[in-house]
Amino acid sequence: MVISNVCCIGAGYVGGPTCSVIALKCPNIKVTVVDKSADRIAQWNSDKLPIYEPGLDEVVKKCRNVNLFFSTDIEQAIKESDLIFISVNTPTKTFGNGKGRAADLKYVESAARMIAEIAQSNKIVVEKSTVPVKAAESIMQILKANQKHNVRYDILSNPEFLAEGTAINDLLYADRILIGGEDTTDGHKAVEKLGWIYQHWIPKENIITTNTWSSELSKLAANAFLAQRISSINSLSAVCESTGADVSEVAKAIGLDSRIGSKFLQASVGFGGSCFQKDILNLVYICEGLNLPEVAAYWQQVIDMNEYQKTRFSQNIIECLFNTVSDKRISILGFAFKKNTGDTRETPAITVCKTLLEEGAQLDIYDPKVEPEQIIDDLTHPFVTESPECVKKSVQIHNDPYSAVQGTHAIVVCTEWDEFVDLDFNRIYQSMMKPSYIFDGRKILDHVKLENIGFHVQTIGKRLQKNGGSFWDKIPQ
Ligand code: UDX
Ligand code: ADP
């Protein structure tokens, strides 16, 4: 066997699902996922996993304590592994040089130092976390400068392209696996060994190899391109609202051009998640450092447009509610950054809620998967002057959508959870203050039906008129 023991440092949204699928597909490989957080590891070893991801429970149940292990014994796992994935978090720096833009590599660095300290045999070290271009070089420097034993390291870049909410499917049927390595005989051997793991379930032709820097840059570029499509369609949504065009019709019309394609053209309240903003900011920072200000400004605009969209949507709510939401109760349906995840990192719901709270609104929030403490935490920071107790006075968190809308003036849909589509809106209308408003930030509801019930409906990229609706609303999609 080429590789028999794999270790993954970091049991988060990337490391956990990725290693679970590797364990599922490679029954002869022992996979150990380690984390410095004892709480997180305890959750991975319990019935309630620390992250919600459709299909993940089944995979973990099948493999856990067979060939998949979750542990805090980082030393042991590093010692016995042939290959180590680094899947730690790389958040945007919140202080010092590159504040608000550069990726903070302190966790990657500390993982590399730990490996150097502990390793007693040759290791292939694989960066899975998104890192700036040339991070592999820094990891190699740290490993070489700190090594305790005379061991050989090969560093590979193997970015993860899974999206939350569809992670298991994305891992099982990946469009491509990208492996970047050094253009040397040893580098090629290391690439082949990692490729061998993926060949257990991914066709060989879908495993592509590049030099390390291309691989690192490809991850940033893929996320930048995806986010750019959303900002592009969101920019047009503003034009649609002003002209009477319908952004869904525009998206459909342009998406049918096979050169453009139909995916990632869903106009929304804005994109969120741990990757898009972080990776583009990182790209912008790198471009500035390379003295490429025009390129930096080009990508920065994708972020600026996203901020504009979130603010525009929030302001529209206030304007529609007679320019004041002070002491009005507003129900927020969905807090996660997208459906099928409990993750709230960079969720547009934070911007919407904070704007409404600043204007004096009382919020009633419901999300099927986000923990109440997480919502309070997200709305508390970085409100420096507001304590969690202050936020709690204005925010009520519900575990049922019908109680969240009871007696409120307006409903704001921030996440496209499927269950929101099937709610009994007649019942909801009866229980709300009048006039009753719905602001559909995800374009998932049947707007004509809602208007017929009596709601005032506002959505993204489309001017609605009572009993109106567009051509596409009337024919089955
Ligand atoms: C993204 C990339 O898709 C994935 O390949 C990478 O590995 C990590 O970053 P993720 O952030 O988990 O994945 O989810 P994604 O499905 O890309 O959605 C990101 C955000 O864009 C969400 O807030 C989503 O609601 C929004 N979005 C997506 C839109 O607003 N419109 C769309 O058409 C698609
Ligand atoms: P991602 O979305 O990139 O997977 P997460 O924040 O979900 O990011 O997970 C990263 C995990 O890495 C966290 O559980 C964190 O505790 C862990 N981690 C960070 N640094 C180290 C380290 N040096 N050793 C072990 N685990 C680490």
Question: What's the rounded mean pLDDT across residues 298-309?
Answer: 98
Percent pLDDT > 90 in the chain is: 86
Q: Could you tell me how many residues make up the chain?
A: 477
Residue 469 binned pLDDT confidence (cut-offs 50, 70, 90): very low
Q: How far is the CA of 88 from the centre of ligand 2 (A)?
A: 4
Q: Which long-range contacts (CB under 8 A, 24 or more apart) does 180-183 make?
A: 180/136, 180/156, 180/209, 180/210, 180/211, 180/212, 180/213, 180/214, 180/215, 180/216, 180/218, 181/154, 181/155, 181/156, 181/157, 181/209, 181/211, 181/212, 182/154, 182/155, 182/211, 182/212, 183/211
131-173: pLDDT as tens digits: 777 888 889 999 988 888 889 999 999 999 999 999 999 999 9
Ligand 1 pocket check for 169: Cβ under 6 Å: no
Give the C-alpha separation, 395 to 382, whole Å.
16
What is residue 437's three-state secondary structure? strand
In this prediction, residue 433 carries a pLDDT of 97
| Number of helical (H) and strand (E) elements in the chain, helices listed first | 20, 14
Q: How far are the Cα atoms of 69, 122, 301 from residue 205, in angstroms, in the given order? A: 30, 28, 36
Atom of ligand 1 nearest to the CA of 272: 23
H or E, element range at 225: helix 212-243
Tokens 């958040």, located at residue = 91
Q: Which ligand is nearest to the CA of 9?
A: 2
pLDDT at residue 46 above 90?
Answer: yes
Ligand 2 pocket check for 52: Cβ under 6 Å: no
32, 34, 36: which to mutate for ligand 2, most atoms within 8 A of CB?
A: 36
Ligand 2 pocket check for 212: Cβ under 6 Å: no
426-460: pLDDT as tens digits: 999 999 999 999 999 999 999 999 999 999 999 99
State the catalytic residues: 275
Ligand 1 atom 14: residue of nearest CA: 163
In this prediction, residue 385 carries a pLDDT of 53
Ligand 2 pocket check for 11: Cβ under 6 Å: yes
Tokens 């007693």, located at residue = 120
Identity of residue 155: I
Identity of residue 468: G
Query: Quick check: pTM over 0.85?
Result: yes
In this prediction, residue 460 carries a pLDDT of 97
